[in-house]
Structure 1
Amino acid sequence: MFAPDHGFRVRRLYKLILRVHRGLPAELRILGDNYARDEFKRHKNCNSDEACVFLNEWTNYAINLAKQMKPLQQAKKKTVGEYLDPTLLDYMTEDQLIQLYQLHKAALGNDGPPDSTIDQQKK
């Protein structure tokens, strides 16, 4: 099913993500750490195909975030992250869309627009 070093690779990737999160502002770090921990727990017993996709996506995330955390990049751009390609929404399950929306709401915190405003923006 999995290579003998699979568990080691997953733990190493998880630790790398937490290390990269150290460069984020405090509130983003907490949000990112909690989200990563939950996702890694949820996918602990997934099949090998899902594990391959999961690890590739999280590896890409870690690489992209590490590039953005470089001091020179932070000096040029005052932002972290990138926009989600809207075409990816077509491939998401309903549960994934709900989770994405909840993450969106958590990222906005109390300062975000009310739900009705977001619903109107979607139309």
Structure 2
Amino acid sequence: MANKIIVVTDAGSGIGRTLSLYLSRKQANVVGVDINQNALLETQQLAGVTDNRFKAFPLDIIDKEKVETLPNKVLKHFGVVDGIINNARIIQHFIPIKDLSYEEINRIFNRLPAKVLMY
């Protein structure tokens, strides 16, 4: 993994953070994407690396315009991408779908990992 450029979504917490820290230990360059900028910066701090090895991009993956600008920003910083770990998810209480409002259903489906691939 040394010197590979890996994009990790939801890098600010949970599995995304764990993956980011693991990749950093393996000497990969990590592009951390998360809606929470503070959490991203904390992940970078925990990794113990600088912007040269972990670049934080705060981003809400349902914001199509911002998602569309991300590839150019990443390429400008690192020059290439070797892999993407699309770990974005949404935490939702387990209730029957019939009990969710249309807005809640839309919010959930707009955060599905496949959504990122649509852009």
TM-score by length of 1: 0.30
**Greater helix share, 1 or 2?**
1
Q: Which entry has the higher C-alpha Rg, 1 or 2? A: 1
**Greater strand share, 1 or 2?**
2
TM-score by length of 2: 0.31
